[in-house]
C-alpha cells in the first residue's frame, strides 16, 4: 500500500504483542541525520511503548545507508538480538547513485534475512525529495520508525512459533 494511503504510525496497539522478553538491534545511518534521527526516535519509543526494556535495545550508527547491511550483520553477531531494525534515508538526486544505493541496501537486507535466523527489518526511506522524507519521518504520513519497530516485534515473535 502506498504511504500516502496509510499513516505509518497508525496501528492498533492492542494487536501488538508484549516485547518485554525481546532484544532489538537498531542500526541507523548518519547520512540525512535530520530524518534518520526522527526514524530512530520513533522506533525506540514504539519498542518501549510495547514494553521492550531500554537495556535490550542496542543502537549503532553507520555513515550511510549503504553501510547498514554490514552494521546490521555486526549487531546480529555481537548482541544476539531477536530482530535488527535498519534505519536510513536515501533521497533521489540528479545522478543514478540513488538507484545503486537503494538496490544494494534492499538486496543486502534481503540476504541478511536469508542468512540468519533472525529478522532484519527494512526501515529505509527511499524518497524523491526532502519533503517526502520529512512526511514519513514523523510528518503527515507518520513515522517509518514506528512501523519498523512494530514489524520487528511481530517478526521476532514469529521466530518463536
> Is 97 an active-site residue?
yes
Q: What values do phi and psi take at 37, rounded to 5? A: -70, -35
Give the span between the Cα atoms of 17 and 47, in whole angstroms. 11
Pairing status of strand 83-91 against strand 120-127 = parallel
Indicate the DSSP class of residue 63: S
CA-to-CA distance for 42 and 25, rounded, in angstroms?
A: 14
Cell 542500526 sits at which residue? Answer: 27
Decide: 50 and 13 in contact? Cβ < 8 Å. Answer: yes
**Residues 97, 131, 140, 159: which is the catalytic one?**
97
Catalytic residues: 97
Amino acid at each position: 500500500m502506498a504511504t500516502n494511503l496509510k499513516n505509518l504510525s497508525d496501528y492498533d496497539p492492542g494487536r501488538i504483542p508484549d516485547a518485554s522478553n525481546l532484544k532489538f538491534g537498531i542500526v541507523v545511518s548518519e547520512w540525512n541525520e535530520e530524518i534518520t534521527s526522527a526514524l530512530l526516535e520513533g522506533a525506540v519509543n514504539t519498542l518501549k511503548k510495547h514494553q521492550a526494556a531500554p537495556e535490550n535495545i542496542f543502537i549503532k550508527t553507520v555513515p550511510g545507508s549503504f553501510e547498514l547491511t554490514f552494521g546490521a550483520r555486526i549487531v546480529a553477531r555481537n548482541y544476539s538480538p531477536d530482530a535488527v531494525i535498519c534505519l536510513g534515508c536515501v533521497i533521489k538526486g540528479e545522478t543514478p547513485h540513488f538507484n545503486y544505493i537503494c538496490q544494494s541496501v534492499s538486496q543486502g537486507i534481503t540476504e541478511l534475512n536469508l542468512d540468519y535466523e533472525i529478522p532484519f527489518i527494512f526501515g529505509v526511506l527511499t524518497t524523491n525529495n526532502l519533503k517526502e522524507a520529512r512526511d514519513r519521518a514523523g510528518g503527515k504520513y507518520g513515522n517509518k520508525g514506528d512501523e519498523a519497530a512494530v514489524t520487528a516485534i511481530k517478526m521476532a515473535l514469529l521466530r518463536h512459533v
